[in-house]
Amino acid sequence: MSDTAELVVSELVTNSLKCIWASEISSPVILRVAADHKYLRIEVWDAVQRAPVQRPHEIDAESGRGLEIISMLCNHWDTFFPDSGGKIVRATIEIDQGKDW
């Protein structure tokens, strides 16, 4: 599960950084990771109030697969727009109950 979580964090943070750079703003990216006995939740906040959009890509494209990867690896993902501004992209991964950690 750690490989999956690492990949999801990498994709979400990369997407947020690209969004900030494209908007030409100077803003932090905030990563929050929380877990209970059933789920691991990964959240990334940035200041741009534009939801990420899954886009079509060529099979040999070097980019554009981030949200597709997140969709395949996570039980759920969505975007939340807090009253304080910006957006939070959230992804939830079910913790494998069969593993003896």
Quick check: 31 and 44 in contact, CB under 8 A? yes
Distances (CA, A) of 14 to 18, 39, 95, 97: 6, 23, 24, 29
Structure tokens at 36: 């209970």
Distance between CA atoms of residues 40 and 89, nearest Å: 14
pLDDT tens across 66-83, in order? 788 888 889 999 999 999
Q: What is the rounded average pLDDT of the residues 12-24? A: 92
Quick check: 30 and 44 in contact, CB under 8 A? yes
Residue 56 predicted with pLDDT over 70: no
- Overall residue count recorded for the chain in this entry: 101
Q: Phi/psi of residue 59, each to 5°?
A: -60, -30
User: How many CA atoms does the CB half-sphere of 86 hold within 13 Å?
Assistant: 17
% of the chain exceeding 90 in pLDDT = 56
Residue 86 predicted with pLDDT over 90: yes
CATH numbers and ranges of domains, the chain: 2-94 (3.30.565.10)
Which of 88, 91, 81, 7 has the alpha carbon at shortest distance from 44? 88
